[in-house]
Amino acid sequence: MSSFWSLWIIVLTIVTLVGVTWLLFANRKTRLNAENEAKTGHVYDGIEEYDNPLPAWWFNLFVLTLIFTVGYLVFYPGMGNFKGLLKWTSIQQWQEEVDAAEEKFKPLYQSLAAKPIPELAKDKEAMKIGQRLFANSCATCHGSDAGGAIGYPNLRDHDWLYGGEPDNIVTSIKGGRNAVMPAWANTLGGKGLEDMASYVLALSKGEASSEHPAAETFQTMCSVCHGADGSGNIALGAPNLTDDIWLYGGKPEQILQSLAIGRNGKMPAQQDILSPEKIHILSAYVYSLSNE
């Protein structure tokens, strides 16, 4: 905050506080009006308003609030750039709470991380922890049920881009994944793209034949990554094209789009974000989803 705005806040706050204090005391009456006759002159539907003092509880509460306010502004941040005598910050409090939680759960995480993934995946309590970690770090992209969305793989099925063995899953999460599917619009041209999309569709229905106009082009251009039979390659994350599971949709226009512009799915690496123990538990959780 610039010192102008800091000063602006400080002056406004002090003027307001002094103002309300003055208002409270300047208009104060301590005794009931002797004859109970002084009226404010306000009349509502024939009911007249007496000019009596404020109730003591109300007045005292107001004074207490003012005292609290001054105390708060001395000890905590509130007056512009003044940090308060306690030097409290929300970030620091958050960090302390996180550190305390990490310290508390460390032994638990370490004991869970010592178990092999297939065994851990059967541990119901551990998987509840896994589910919570997943909700925090992964659900934004993969969905809270891990069912995925267009461009974000479903983690509940048996179809894996990069393999579903424990090691594959740990590698996916730890280091992230960057898929490289080149764009084919320039190479294949309009007609070539349509033919190829039709071939991909035929592959997924198990109807692809070597007679197909795009069959040969598939062998020269696509088989390096997707395999000669189109069944994919987990080393590259090239999807199996012979099933009816699609990362970017299986409608003809979606396939055409995948071919025309290419696809570059990115799974962010978690190794600098999450501890190895948490990655281990998450891997077991992902493993458990398709091995229930």
Residues that bind ligand HEC (CB under 6 A): 137-138, 140-142, 151-153, 155, 160-162, 169, 172-173, 177, 179-182, 184, 196, 200, 221-222, 224-226, 236-239, 241, 246-248, 255, 258-259, 263-268, 270, 282, 286
Dist. CA 221–CA 272, nearest whole Å: 36
Nearest approach, Cβ of residue 203 and ligand HEC (Å): 9
Looking at the Cβ atoms of 131 and 270, the one nearer to ligand HEC is: 270
Looking at the Cβ atoms of 113 and 282, the one nearer to ligand HEC is: 282
263: Cα within 13 Å, side-chain hemisphere: 21
Tokens at 217, concatenated: 């082009």
Nearest approach, Cβ of residue 182 and ligand HEC (Å): 6
* Nearest residue to the partner ligand HEC, using Cβ: 265
Dist. CA 248–CA 258, nearest whole Å: 7
**Which of 197, 186, 175, 202 minimizes the C-alpha distance to 270?**
175
Contacts of 116 by beta carbon, 8 Å cutoff, 6+ apart: 166
Nearest approach, Cβ of residue 239 and ligand HEC (Å): 4
Q: Which amino acid is at 184?
A: W
Nearest approach, Cβ of residue 205 and ligand HEC (Å): 13
Dist. CA 228–CA 169, nearest whole Å: 25
Looking at the Cβ atoms of 79 and 288, the one nearer to ligand HEC is: 288
Nearest approach, Cβ of residue 242 and ligand HEC (Å): 11
- Is residue 285 within 8 A of residue 133, CB to CB? The reply is yes
Looking at the Cβ atoms of 65 and 140, the one nearer to ligand HEC is: 140
The angle at the Cα of 25, spanning 22 to 27, to the nearest 5 degrees, equals 100
Q: Which amino acid is at 214?
A: A
Nearest approach, Cβ of residue 180 and ligand HEC (Å): 5
Looking at the Cβ atoms of 71 and 252, the one nearer to ligand HEC is: 252
- Is residue 288 within 8 A of residue 121, CB to CB? The reply is yes
Looking at the Cβ atoms of 6 and 254, the one nearer to ligand HEC is: 254
